[in-house]
Amino acid sequence: MRKSVVLVGVLAVFAFVAALSWPDRSSHQQQQPAARKLGLHVSGREVVEGDGSPFVMRGISHPYAWMQDQRQAFADIKRLGANTVRVVLTRQTTAPEVADVVATCKQQKLICVLENHDTTGYGDQEGSVPLDAVTGWWAGLRDVLAGQEDYVVVNIGNEPYGNSGTEAWTAATKAAVRKLRDAGLRHLLMADAPNWGQDWSGVMRDNAASVLAADPLHNTVFSVHMYGVYGTAEKVTGYLDAFRRQGLPLVVGEFGWKHTDGAVADDAIMRAAQERGVGYLGWSWSGNSGGVEYLDAATGFDAGRLTDWGRRLFAHIRETAREATVFTTASR
């Protein structure tokens, strides 16, 4: 979500026949570098665990960076059925704090998507920074994150461009991915779209394959944020299917039920994501303000007071989420 509102904010290109048929997952998996078998990773258009089990994210974002005292949120989000939590961080979040977040996620058996929020709306949002500015911060977390590849996804930068300068997204994202790999991070990376995450210009859709090809570990999933641009089921399915046709991995990294730019086809998002095996993460647990309090899933961080949005979201999560197998296998 936009930072100006508090707390709201591929694979190498397939052969030319990829547009005509879905990729052969079994043959594609045989082409994966051995290094990619460490932890969560991309296999064709799926995210899978280290043992090859498909993992479909079902969860919500939690504004940890501004609400560090709301630690009960992790347990509540898990109890309501989620298998993933997306955790808002900034460059002011310290390595010990990140280590604590990861430990808490693991304790609650939640896959932890760590995202840096400082990039939100770069080019349009005052105070926002480019992707390059957060790569050093991520590199500084290398020792904290090492060995957590089964449990952690690195969401490089939230909504890294507003609606200005979006043509730079491809080169900037490739450079950020390479810097994180050079720093030793082997985790599944998540790359957010431009246009405040909504990619209405199609920049991410049209260039995701080249970004994935530029990742030495071939281990990047793409994230679209769905708000008012996705006000109809046709808009939702059209975007999801564009990635599906290319055999590229995609998640809906944020969505709500309405926003300042219009109504959102949230039921269609959840239904279409489920039909296609696409992960989704709702925005957000609680703490929204500045006129967008309607995006709170829980009133006042109280799991006993879910909003209509929260009830709908978690009802679908409970029906469809599967806990990561890494938490159900022998202790590690």
Annotated active-site positions, please? 159, 254
How do 250-255 and 258-259 pair as beta strands? unpaired
For residue 281, what are the CA distances in angstroms to 13, 40, 83, 140?
Answer: 27, 17, 10, 26
| d(C-alpha 265, C-alpha 260), whole Å | 14
Q: Output helix, strand, coil percentages for the chain, rounded to the nearest 5.
A: 40, 15, 45
| d(C-alpha 45, C-alpha 68), whole Å | 34
Identity of residue 37: K
Partners of 61 in the β-ladder: 86
Answer yes or no: are the C-beta atoms of 313 and 80 closer than 8 Å: no
Sequence-ordered list of residues with C-beta below 8 angstroms from that of 199, at least 6 positions apart, any chain: 193, 205, 224, 239
- The per-residue DSSP string of 224-249 comes to EEESGGG-SHHHHHHHHHHHHHHT--
